[in-house]
Amino acid sequence: MQILVTGAAGFIGYHLIKKILNKNKKVIGIDNINSYYDTNLKKDRINNLKKSKKFSFYKIDLSNYKKLNDIVKKNKINIIIHLAAQAGVRYSIKYPRTYFKSNLEGFFNILEISRNNKIKHLIYASTSSVYGDSNKFPLKENDRTDQPLSFYAATKKSNEVMAHSYSYIYKLPCTGVRFFTVYGPFGRPDMALFQFTKNIINNHSVELFNNGKHLRDFTYVDDIVDGIYSLINKQSKKTIPYEIFNIGNGTPKKLLDYLKYIEKGLNKISKTKKLPLQVGDVVKTHSDINKLKKYIGYRPKTNIKIGIEKFIEWYKDYYKVN
Residues designated as active site = 152
- Give the pairing type, strands 121-127 and 79-82: parallel
User: What are the Cα distances from residue 318, in Å, to 85, 144, 270, 307, 311?
Assistant: 25, 41, 21, 17, 10
Reported as half-sphere exposure (CB side, CA atoms, 13 A), residue 281 has a value of: 18
Query: Could you tell me if 123 and 80 are in contact, meaning their C-beta atoms sit under 8 angstroms apart?
Result: yes
Query: Could you tell me if 302 and 220 are in contact, meaning their C-beta atoms sit under 8 angstroms apart?
Result: yes
